Amino acid sequence: MLKGRSNYLCLARYGQLHDGAQMALSADGGGFDAQTWSKLEEWRETTETGDRTDAPLDDRQWASVSVSARECPGASRCSVGDECFAEKAKARAMEADIVVTNLHVYGLNVVLRERHGIDITVPEHDVLVVDEAHKLAPTLQQVAGLELTEARVAGLARALGSILTDVPGGLERSASSLGLALDELAGQRLTTLPDALLSEIDGADQSVGEAADLLKALPTLKDHAQTERLRVANLAASLRDDLQAIRRTIVDDVCWVEPGVQQARLRRVPLDIGPLLATQCYARHSVIMTSATLSIGGRFGVFADTVGLTPRSASDPSGAGPERSSPTHRPTRPSDSTDGATDVRSPSTTEPDAGDTDAGESGGERLDTGQSDASQSLRCRRRRRSDIGAHRGRAEPL
Q: Summarize pLDDT for 218-271 with one digit per residue, the tens.
A: 888 888 888 999 999 999 999 999 999 998 888 889 999 999 888 999 999 999
Q: Please, what are the domains in the chain?
A: 5-95 (no CATH), 109-142+273-382 (no CATH), 150-263 (1.20.58)
Res. 36: pLDDT tops 60: yes
pLDDT tens digit sequence for 106-126: 999 999 888 888 888 888 899
Q: How far apart (Å, rounded) are the C-alpha atoms in residues 206 and 140?
A: 30
User: Which pLDDT band, with edges at 50, 70 and 90, does 362 fall under?
Assistant: very low
Whether 308 and 278 have beta carbons less than 8 Å apart is answered as yes
Judged by DSSP in three states, 244 sits in helix
Q: What is the pLDDT of residue 264?
A: 96
Q: How far apart (Å, rounded) are the C-alpha atoms in residues 303 and 284?
A: 21
pLDDT tens digit sequence for 265-306: 999 999 999 999 999 999 898 999 999 988 888 888 889 989
Q: What's the gap between Cα 196 and its chain centre? A: 31
Which run of H or of E encompasses 139? helix 136-144
Q: Residue 367 — left, alpha, or beta (φ > 0 → left; ψ -120 to 50 → alpha)?
A: beta
**pLDDT greater at residue 358 or residue 216:** 216
State the pTM of this model.
0.72
User: Which pLDDT band, with edges at 50, 70 and 90, does 6 fall under?
Assistant: very high
Whether 5 and 72 have beta carbons less than 8 Å apart is answered as yes
Amino acid identity of 134? Answer: H
Q: Which among 37, 250, 235, 210 has a CA at the least distance from the CA of 151?
A: 235
SS3 per-residue string spanning 163-210 = CCCCCCHHHHHHHHHHHHHHHHCCCCEECCCCHHHHHHHHHHHHHHHH
For the ranges 3-12, 55-64, 220-229, 361-370, the lowest mean pLDDT is seen at 361-370
Average of per-residue pLDDT across 5-22:
83
